[in-house]
Amino acid sequence: MQSHQQSDRLSWGDTVFLHLEREGMPLNVASICIFEGEVLFEDCLQFIESKLPLLPRYLKRVVPAPFALGLPSWEYDPEFDLRRHVREVTLK
Q: Is residue 15 part of a domain?
A: yes
Q: Is residue 90 part of a domain?
A: no
Domain count, the chain: 1
Domain limits for position 12: 7-84
Q: Is residue 91 part of a domain?
A: no
Model confidence pLDDT, tens digit, residues 17-76? 888 999 888 888 888 888 888 889 999 999 999 999 999 999 999 999 999 888 999 999
pLDDT at 52: 95
Average pLDDT of the segment spanning 83-89: 91
Average pLDDT of the segment spanning 6-13: 80
**pTM for the whole thing?**
0.70
Cα(16)–Cα(87) distance, rounded to whole angstroms? 28
pLDDT at 75: 93
Q: Is residue 1 part of a domain?
A: no
Q: Is residue 56 part of a domain?
A: yes
- Residue 80 has φ and ψ, to the nearest 5°, of -55, 130
Closest by Cα among 12, 30, 9, 8 to 20: 12
Closest by Cα among 58, 80, 57 to 9: 57
pLDDT at 68: 84
pLDDT at 7: 56
Integer angstrom CA distances of residue 56 from 4, 9, 27, 78: 10, 14, 21, 13
Q: Is residue 89 part of a domain?
A: no
Q: Is residue 52 part of a domain?
A: yes
**Type of residue numbered 12:** W
On the CB side of 86, CA atoms within 13 Å amount to 16
Q: Is residue 78 part of a domain?
A: yes
